[in-house]
Structures are given as structure tokens and as C-alpha cells.
Structure 1
Amino acid sequence: MATVHPSDHPTMSNQPFSLQEYYASCHNNGSLTLLLMPISRHTQNILRSPGHSASISVSSDRPAASRARVSLMGTVTVFHDARGMPDREAIKLCYLAKHPDASWWLPDDDGAAHLSFWARFDPHDVYFVGGFGDQHYIGYIPLQIYQEALSAVAPDFSLAGRILVEQL
């Protein structure tokens, strides 16, 4: 995930920040489920961003220049009250299936290690690198194609699979 430090940050004003973050593909339209924690630099940046903006990169298990990868640019909706999140139980089960260790950080858990919130990342732009440019597509993918990819055929297909289906 990549975010941008807020303009009033004492040393990193408007500078990018990037680290790996957990996400799960729990929505049929390609939106991603996130678990945000106020102690996280990304969460702080997202909450301070006027548009709650972020970017998430997805690649194969073994990234290489010849392998497909994608960057999703979008906005984050934070559910400060977990009870207000649509499909809360289904999302929770989906997320925990992908990240079982996240059970220690779930929202509304009095015994959780940290305060956390459910969030949904909604892409508005998709940039795809299929591998080497002389052999594979490199460029933006229309959002509708991304959102509809595999949703009727295999709704639980991974995000990478959603993007890579066009390469097969």
C-alpha cells in the first residue's frame, strides 16, 4: 500500500509512504477489505487525506520483471462503527480466511491487541503491467472491465487472478 504524508507532517510533508499491508478480496466488484489501525502510518495518512486516498500494488508470489502486476488507485471508506459495515459477518469470515492471524486485531473485540476499524478500498483506476512491454500489455485497464472480471464465473478468485485472466 502507498499513501502520502499529510501536508502538516513535521518532517515528511506530502511525501509518499509505502509498506506491505493486509487486504482481502471480499467483494464481487474488485473492492478490497482492509483492517485499519489508528497506530498505523497508513491509517493516519488515509484519515488525513482529503479524499481518503491510497494505492495498492498486487503482484505474483514471486515478483519479477517478466510477471504481471497491477497498481490499484482508489479511496478508502472507514467503518468506525463495525456494526454499520454492510455484510459484516461475511466480510469478517472472508478476511480471516485470508489472514487467520488477524483474529487478534478485529474491530469490536475488547481483548484485541489494538484498536481497529473495518475499511473498504474502492479502486477508481487500474494500471496493469503484464510483464515485458514488447510481449505483454502495459497500461490502464478500464474500471468496468476490472470490476466485472470473473465476478460471474469465480467470485472468490484472487485479485491477481482477476487481473491476470486477460493474460491467459
Structure 2
Amino acid sequence: MHLSLTFVSSSLFFLSVLSRETVWDAAAIARRLVDNSTSSIGVMATVFPLDHSSSPAQPFAMQEYYASCHTNGSLTLLFLPISRHSQNILHSNHHAASLSVSSALPAARSPRVSLIGNVTVYTNTTLVPNRNAIQSCYLARHPDARWWLPEDDDAAHIAYWARFDPESVYFVGGFGDKHFIGYIPLEIYQGAPASAEVSLQGGLVEQY
């Protein structure tokens, strides 16, 4: 364990020497990218199950709504079992997924971040921690989602609340001679200051 921590520390120091951004700078930029996205839409990636009829074990990526509603950087999802991503997640042993967010004008010199983690699905809505705050936060980012809310008998599809918890964070700040490129330790990402803008608009809830 000591050797592993030493290696990670040395690697972070080496990257910070090569670039002008430190890993802490990168964490703050990454959190702002996710929290302050004008659309709160990222590109989610999942994997087709092994027994899928036409695309077994193949990757699948498509845009997905999210809302940054937690102080530790976890994200709120509206989970619709009918969607391809939801089906892939449910067939994954660890409910694995990734979500990538880029700057408003994506370019090679612009920052982007990929969050790799797992999804907790609350099929029983009474067990959703801070349910009212979560719903208010999500609707503040996606008002059109009012037509798909869980336990709405008039909704177009069955839906559940879900939480996406990052387990690793990969960041590309831009060109490597100036910007940080590489993994941000999870505790540094989680500890980066949450956006004041999101706190005002949606009401962040404590991690759980």
C-alpha cells in the first residue's frame, strides 16, 4: 500500500511539473464542467450484455440527462427501464456506466472529463434519500422531465430515481504541455468545491 501511494504521488508530481495545471486545478475545473453545464447533458457509455442478440459486449454511447445534486460530486439520474442505457446498466453485475462532459464549445484545447462509476437504482421511491430535494434539483436542470417523474400514473414511461457514483475520474484539460491530463484521485475530485451556481439553482444535498 505504501509503495502504491508513493507511486501515485510521484506520478501526480511528474504530471504537474510537465503542465501548468495541478491535479487540484484539474479537479476544480472538472467539477465546474459538470456542475455548470448549460444543458446538464453528458455522453453516457454502457456495454451491451453478453447475451444480447445483435451486439453482445459491445460499447454503446448516447447523450443522457443528469443533475449535479450532491456535495460529493455524485449525480442524479432519472432512470427509465425502457432506455437502452438502463437495460445495459441493469444487466451489468456492478451497474457500471461512464459519463463524459465537455466544455460548451468542445475542442482539442478545451477541457473534458469522464466519470467512471456505478448506478444505484431506487425502485422503491420511498427509500430515496432526500427525495424532495433530489426531485427539485433535477427539475431545476430539466423542467421537461416533469412528464416522466416516478410514481406519476400519467407519465409516458415507468421511471425511477437513480444515483451515479463516480469511482474514477479521467480528465483532459487541453494540450498536455499546458494542461493536466490523467486520472484525478477520487477524494480530490469529491473534495473540490461544489458550484455556488448549482447550490442556488437546485439545492445540493449532502453525500450519502
Output aligned runs, 1:1-168, within 5 Å.
1-151=44-194, 154=196, 156=198
Is the Cα contact below 8 Å between 1:28 and 1:155 reproduced in 2? no
Greater than 2 Å deviation, 4+ residue runs: 153-157
Q: How many equivalent residue pairs?
A: 156
Query: Percent identity at matched positions?
Result: 65
SS where residue 156 of structure 1 aligns? Answer: helix
Superposed CA RMSD in Å reads: 1.2
Give the unaligned 5+ runs of structure 1: 158-168
Q: Quote the Cα distance in structure 2 between the aligned partners of 1:62 and 1:15.
A: 29
Higher RCO structure (Cα 8 Å, ≥6 apart): 2
Give the match's secondary structure for 1:89: helix
Structure having the higher helix fraction is 2
Query: With structure 2 as the length reference, what TM-score do the two structures score?
Result: 0.73
**Secondary structure at the counterpart of residue 21 of structure 1:** strand
TM-score, normalising length: structure 1:
0.90
Shift of 1:155: 8.0
Give SS of 1:38's match: coil
Q: Distance in 2 between matches of 1:52 and 1:129?
A: 25
Between the aligned partners of 1:62 and 1:102, the Cα distance in structure 2 is: 25
C-alpha separation in 2, matches of 1:38 and 1:26: 22
**Distance across 2 between alignment mates of 1:10 and 1:106:** 31
AA paired with 2:119?
V
Unaligned runs of 5+ in 2: 1-43, 200-208
Task: Give the residue type in structure 2 aligned to 1:24.
Answer: A
2:48, 2:114 → 1: CA distance?
Answer: 19
Determine the structure 2 residue equivalent to 1:164: none
